[in-house]
Structure formats: structure tokens, C-alpha cells
């Protein structure tokens, strides 16, 4: 198995566990609603979720855009995408699509790896909202990815990030060692998180991603939840960058 295939195989193996955590953990529904309130998708919008995983966000996104909108989930791990597709089939969502691809290089809307627009019902310049939940902390270049997502959303589009990182609140600091242990345990083998402080690396990547969002967006609003362990930011992509 190549080094590049390790993360995909790792997340495929644990897809069921991640799905249960993402769907059933107490407070998760409230957190998703708070994030989407910041992001403000509207009925009829085209929404692209980078690193959609098992599609745990799909019910909330589809509810916001309605049957006249479009939701597209992108992920690289085939195992989690199988669960995302099953979720779409169970709910008979004709306007929710799942695409296998690298979230750092969006596999549609132009470019040599583009998915034909007819297969998704969208084309260049037709994406209204781009979001990523618990994703930038996994990426080697979070800033570059956020820049690419801003280009996909386009001038006046909405861009949002929701991430986990160590807390700076008094209670959160007490829980940080346990959180750091969970981060290390959930890191793919062979990655930087296994050879240096996994929680530190996560913090650095999340900070870089949110800074990049501020660089490409105006009117950024940020919130924290779960005693500061969850960080949410959303803004409108700047018309002149």
C-alpha cells in the first residue's frame, strides 16, 4: 500500500464509527444548525461540501436549499462515500449528488478533471456556497485549499469552515490532554500527526485555514462551541482579490 493510499484506507475502515459520531453525538445537530446559520444557504442555492464524508450534513443542507436547490458532496475516500450514497438513496434525494475527488482540487467546474456539468446540474460560476466541516485540519496546505474553494464559490459566494481544535477556555484547557489523545488515535498511520504533536499540527492547520478564509472573504463571522473545541467561520467571497 502506498503512503498516499493510507489515509483513504484508514477512513474507509473507520467509516461506520465516524458516521455514528457525526450523526448521533449529543449536541451535533445544534452545532450543524449554528454553522449553517452563519453560512446562510438559501432555497434554490447550489451548495458544494468539500470532504463530505458519510454525508452527515446532507439532511441539514438539503433542508436549507429545498428541492429546487442542489447539494454536491466531494470526498476522496470510497468507503465513506458508499455511506453517503446510501444516505442519498434512502432519502430519495434527486438533487443531492456525491462525487469522488480531491477536495483540494475541486473535480468539476472547469479544468481537465471536471465532472460534466450535466451530471450534476451545475456549471462554471453556478456555485453559491462552499463549505468544509472538520476537513482543513487534515490537509497539508489548508490555506491553498481555502483559496481554491473561494475561487469555486466565486465573487459574492459564501464560504464557511467548521473545525475541531484545542480549546482556550478554562474548562477546555482541562480537557485538552484527552482531546489531544483522541486526535492522535484518529490520525492515519504514517502521517505527520504520528511523528509530531498531532493536536499541535491540527491547531496549526485549522488556524491557517481560518486565516485564509478571512483573506478571501468579507463580513466574516466566527463562533465557538463545545467549550471552544469547535470553531466556525463564514463570510462572503470578496469581489476583488
* Whether residue 165 has pLDDT greater than 60: yes
Q: What is the rounded average pLDDT of the residues 58-79?
A: 92
Domain 5-237 sits in CATH 3.40.50.150: yes
What would the grid cell of residue 61 be? 443542507
* Whether residue 143 has pLDDT greater than 90: yes
* Whether residue 40 has pLDDT greater than 90: yes
Q: What pLDDT does residue 142 have? A: 96
- Helix H, strand E, coil C: the string for the chain is CCCCHHHHHHHHHCHHHHHHHHHHCCCHHHHHHHHHHHHCCCCCCEEEEECCCCCCCHHHHHHHHCCCCEEEEEECCHHHHHHHHHHHHHHCCCCEEEEECCCCCCCECCCCCCECHHHHCCCCCCCCEEEEECCHHHCCCHHHHHHHHHHHHCCCCEEEEEEECCCCCHHHHHHHHHHHHHHHHCCCCCCHHHHCCHHHHHHHHHHHHHHHHHHHEEEEEEEEECCCCEEEEEEEECCCC
Q: Give the residue with greater pLDDT, 175 vs 31.
A: 175
Q: How confident is the model at residue 228 (pLDDT cuts 50, 70, 90)?
A: very high
Q: What pLDDT does residue 2 have? A: 31
Q: Give the residue with greater pLDDT, 61 vs 30.
A: 61
* Whether residue 63 has pLDDT greater than 70: yes
Q: What is the rounded average pLDDT of the residues 220-226?
A: 94
* Whether residue 180 has pLDDT greater than 90: yes
Q: What is the rounded average pLDDT of the residues 206-218?
A: 97
pLDDT > 70: percent of the chain? 76
* Whether residue 241 has pLDDT greater than 70: no
Q: What is the rounded average pLDDT of the residues 201-209?
A: 96
137: left (phi over 0), alpha (psi -120 to 50) or beta: alpha
Q: How confident is the model at residue 3 (pLDDT cuts 50, 70, 90)?
A: very low
Q: Give the residue with greater pLDDT, 88 vs 20.
A: 88
What are the residue ranges spanned by the domains of the chain?
5-237
* Whether residue 115 has pLDDT greater than 60: no
Amino acid at each position: 500500500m502506498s503512503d498516499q493510499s493510507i489515509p483513504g484506507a484508514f477512513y474507509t475502515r473507520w467509516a461506520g464509527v465516524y458516521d455514528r459520531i457525526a450523526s448521533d453525538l449529543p449536541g451535533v445537530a445544534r452545532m450543524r444548525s449554528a454553522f449553517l446559520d452563519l453560512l446562510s444557504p438559501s432555497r434554490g442555492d447550489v451548495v458544494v461540501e468539500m470532504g463530505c464524508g458519510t454525508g452527515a450534513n446532507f439532511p441539514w443542507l438539503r433542508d436549507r436549499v429545498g428541492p429546487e436547490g442542489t447539494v454536491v458532496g466531494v470526498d476522496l475516500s470510497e468507503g465513506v462515500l458508499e455511506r453517503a450514497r446510501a444516505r442519498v438513496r434512502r432519502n430519495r434525494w434527486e438533487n443531492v449528488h456525491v462525487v469522488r475527488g480531491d477536495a483540494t482540487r475541486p473535480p468539476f467546474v472547469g479544468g481537465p478533471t471536471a465532472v460534466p456539468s450535466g451530471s450534476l446540474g451545475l456549471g462554471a460560476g453556478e456555485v453559491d456556497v462552499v463549505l468544509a466541516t472538520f476537513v482543513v485540519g487534515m490537509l497539508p496546505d489548508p490555506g491553498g485549499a481555502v483559496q481554491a474553494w473561494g475561487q469555486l464559490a466565486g465573487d459574492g459566494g459564501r464560504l464557511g469552515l467548521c473545525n475541531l481544535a484545542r480549546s482556550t477556555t478554562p474548562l477546555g484547557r482541562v480537557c485538552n490532554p484527552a482531546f489531544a489523545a483522541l486526535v492522535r488515535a484518529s490520525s492515519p498511520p504514517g502521517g505527520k500527526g504520528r511523528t509530531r504533536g498531532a493536536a499541535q499540527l491540527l491547531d496549526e492547520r485549522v488556524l491557517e485555514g481560518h486565516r485564509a478564509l478571512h483573506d478571501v472573504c468579507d463580513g466574516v463571522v466566527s463562533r465557538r462551541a463545545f467549550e471552544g473545541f469547535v470553531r466556525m467561520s463564514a463570510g462572503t467571497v470578496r469581489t476583488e482579490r
